[in-house]
Amino acid sequence: RIVATMDSHHPLHIAHPSFWSDGQGNLPEPFTVISMEDVVEGRWIPREDVKPSARESLLIEDDILGGGIPSELYSTDETGNRQLNMKQWCIEYTRRLEAKGKFSLMIWPEHCLVGTEGQTVVTTICDAMMEWSRKTGGSVEWVNKGQNLLTENYSALCAEVPVTKKTSFDYELLESLKTSEKLIMCGQALSHCVQYTVRDIADHWP
């Protein structure tokens, strides 16, 4: 059995440069750390025109986000539709992220963009997986993560700040993995995606 997790991002992701700018329209350099204070003080300003794709109705589900949602998080437009205040979300996001004590918001170079070569599995490994499938009759199980624009998803099982059902802890995947006699984990980056996937599995095992 092979389970392949795929970092799958859009350009306008909260941890990508084009999501942010300073007061002069400059984008943050990769590996810039943006703190809650930076957002509050306006040192880094999120785009207000970020919107879900046509297949997604919401970027945030209030029942998943849980208690303590600030009243300023939403406003109502002239047609009566509720609109997400992106600055207020970024304040809330960085607050929740920092409160967990694991990460601050790091701006990464654009990577693993959906539909690009950077999202694909390295050719040598992909060829080996396809050959395994042909020889064994099994099919590779693909798990995509990181497509929600408003939260980071280092672990393959859960976002750092869950905002929708899709970004909440994936107990279905966990229970499926538990049926395996042995798990062998590999991949990149060892410091983030691999490490925190392993930690989530270990924390919920058996």
pLDDT (tens digit per residue) in 96-139: 999 999 999 999 999 999 999 999 999 999 999 999 999 999 99
pLDDT at 3 over 80: yes
Given this model, what pLDDT does residue 55 score?
66
Assign 56 a pLDDT band (cuts: 50, 70, 90).
low
In the chain, which residue ranges form alpha helices assigned H by DSSP?
A: 36-40, 62-65, 86-100, 123-136, 171-177, 195-203
User: What is the per-residue pLDDT across 127-175, written as a single tens digit (0 to 9) for each?
Assistant: 999 999 999 999 999 999 999 999 999 999 999 999 999 999 999 999 9
Distance separating the N- and C-terminal Cα atoms of the chain:
19
Query: Does residue 58 have a pLDDT over 70?
Result: no
For residues 163 and 177, give the distance between their C-alpha atoms in angstroms, rounded to a whole number. Answer: 24
Mean of the pLDDT values across residues 66-83? 83
Q: How many CB atoms lie within 10 A of CB 144?
A: 16
Question: Which residue do the tokens 């392993």 mark?
Answer: 198
Q: What is the mean pLDDT of residues 174-194?
A: 93
Task: Report the share of the chain in percent with pLDDT over 70.
Answer: 98
Q: What does the angle CA 152 – CA 157 – CA 160 come to, to the nearest 5 degrees?
A: 30
Torsion 18-19-24-30 (CA) sign: negative
* Rounded mean pLDDT, 72-99: 90
Residue 193 near residue 108 (C-beta atoms within 8 A): no
Report the candidate in 93, 7, 79 with the shortest Cα–Cα distance to residue 50. 93
Instruction: Please count the CA atoms within 13 angstroms of the CA of 104 that sit on its side-chain side.
Output: 11
Determine the pLDDT at residue 206.
78
**pLDDT for the residue 25:** 93
Cα–Cα distance list, 86 to 10, 58, 199 (Å)? 17, 13, 31
- Which of 68 and 46 is assigned the larger pLDDT? 46
Name the pLDDT band for 83 (thresholds 50, 70, 90).
confident
pTM beyond cutoff 0.85: yes
pLDDT, tens only, 24-36: 999 999 999 999 9
- pLDDT, residue 61, reads 87
Q: Kindly state the tokens that stand for 62.
A: 């209030």
DSSP tag of 118: G
φ and ψ at residue 133, rounded to 5 degrees: -60, -45
- In the predicted model, what is the mean pLDDT of residues 69-75? 86
Q: What is the CA radius of gyration of the chain?
A: 19
Q: What is the DSSP letter of 169?
A: -
